[in-house]
Structure 1
């Protein structure tokens, strides 16, 4: 069941899995992605390991507040908000959940938000897991093919959106694992039906670009940190994961051959084991 909570002056939509008495674990998703991008099966595996799992829509995604009045940011114009604001949204959601602190897991832009949360609100972060992310966009630029799909003109009708999703994940997904085109199309359809707002994705992208590099500030992070990254990631190449692990004292880097910029189901048990090992200390 999706619930809406007031957080940092906006509304955040979220869903939870597992016992409320479990270890609090917050899943932060990436650019333009909705909470459903965290597969229910993955969430339930985490819940089975004793976590109280919450997945949510970032601002400008899904059923959370959208900043429609800002339109699509023009090149060179100020971003409507920064990753700092998305991190503060996350802390605000934790307030609404009654969580003084939580284990934070972020993927892609969600990893950037999770890193920023650990910088801005270190007392709220029990552990940090940064997946297929980077301390700054210039550290690990995408390949030409990945950049082309990221910057392509958004489709407008439902059928075209599904086709574009399959093309996108065929380009940035994991070459070492079978691509489930049917599941990709199904999830893209669910996302379209929940909320279709490509301008919101553009505003999030502007926030990433305007937020700069976090490398120096990450040196002050003292929470136990896990960095997971695919060795075949074309959107945020492995250099981003290596830079994240190098920037945070004591961080542990785990890489996966054949993994691109997605979360292959075959690797879920390993992801869950690594995250659970970190949160159980």
Structure 2
């Protein structure tokens, strides 16, 4: 397992890693707002790959070691007033990046699993590029509808805090945030959170990308009508203790997508606690393994990544 960089079109390059047998059924894990590829824990990816999948995790644009956009981001106050630079992208652009990654890796189709903003991106891929998505799993995500799936006021206050200026400040802030939005029904692993926050700072310390991603969510608005066009078999997973994306977001997502199934995990907040992995892995695996469906095909003319 090593990080690789590949171009996905329109001047965007994405950093990614792969786990498991190269011939396994591909599952692409899409990270959330401001999160880097390692927000999908390595051991989680390895356990999913051990079930026979080729697991791909990657940095979205404006995260980690993928392309950082050159324009100055809007402030949180401006985003809330729906004011942002003319260059601001939206979720459809992030979805196109994800499809470009599939093209680069040579996959005609893949299972998509997205968490939070990653769920929104995966939903958008399934709506705009239905032939590329075998199954969709949307975790702790929402539709963009007003008053649905919104963060708690206490969460907004934490998000509005002054950006960290040092590695230590970034680590401490991340611990405060995940103590607040994390899974209060499961053990909190502060050492792991600190380790991951430090790694994120080392890979890309600027908060500008997170602000641009947040603006992309707001610019995309209410996507309920778009979600109604999704035809991929869909599983929606949400914790009942989520202070970042209220559980109403998961319920609205399941209502919007025809025949979607909603699974609520008691005690789970806006993270992936280790004690919940067995449940999450079983749900993802059982959803991605419908009886009688053949393995996804891998194109022989995939572009060479550099």
Q: TM-score range by the shorter chain?
A: over 0.9
Question: Following superposition of structure 1 onto structure 2, how do residues 44-63 of structure 1 map, counting pairs within 5 Å?
Answer: 44-63=46-65
Please point out which of 183, 190, 199 is paired with 2:192: 183
The alignment partner of 1:70 has SS state of: coil
Q: Is residue 173 of structure 2 the alignment partner of residue 171 of structure 1?
A: no
Is contact 1:229-1:254 (8 Å) kept? yes
Are positions 1:202 and 2:204 aligned together? no
Q: Given the two structures, how large is their TM-score scaled by the length of structure 1?
A: 0.98
Higher deviation after alignment, 136-145 or 207-216: 136-145
TM-score w.r.t. length of structure 2: 0.90
CA positional deviation for 1:177: 0.9
Conserved? CA contact 1:61–1:197, under 8 Å = no
- State the match for 1:72 in structure 2: 73
On the 8 A contact 2:145/2:223 being kept in 1, the answer is no
2:113 pairs, out of 105, 126, 131, with: 105
TM-superposed CA distance for 1:137, in Å, is 5.5
Residue 256 of structure 2 is aligned to residue 247 of structure 1: yes
Conserved? CA contact 1:137–1:208, under 8 Å: no
Structure 2 SS opposite 1:13: strand
- Unpaired segments ≥5 residues, structure 1: none
How far is the alpha carbon of 1:77 from its aligned partner?
2.6
Instruction: Find 2:226's aligned residue among 217, 220, 232.
Output: 217
Give how far 1:151 is off: 2.3
Runs of 4+ in 1 over 4 A off after TM superposition: none
Does the C-alpha gap of structure 1 residues 83 and 121 become closer, same or farther in structure 2, counting only changes over 3 Å?
Answer: same
What is the number of residues matched between the two proteins? Answer: 280
Q: Is the 8 A contact 1:73 1:80 kept in 2?
A: no
* Aligned-partner Cα distance in 2 for 1:83–1:115: 10
Quote the offset at 1:8 in angstroms: 2.3
CA drift of 1:236 comes to: 0.4
Aligned counterpart in structure 2 of residue 142 of structure 1, from 147, 151, 169: 151
Match of residue 227 from structure 1? 236
Distance 2:210 2:95 in 1: 17
Give yes or no for contact 1:137–1:209 (8 Å, CA) kept in 2: no
- Aligned partner of 1:86 in structure 2 is 94
How many angstroms apart in 1 are the aligned matches of 2:127 and 2:161? 33
Query: Partner residue of 2:4?
Result: 3
1:104-138 Cα offsets, whole Å, 9 max, x none, are 00000000000010111111000000000001152
- The whole-number CA distance in structure 1 between the counterparts of 2:184 and 2:254 is 24
- Confirm or deny: 8 A CA contact 1:2 1:15 kept in the other structure: yes
Q: Which runs of 5+ in 2 are unaligned?
A: 291-306
How far did 1:278 drift? 1.1
Query: Hey, what's the Cα distance between the residues in 1 that align with 2:239 and 2:160?
Result: 22
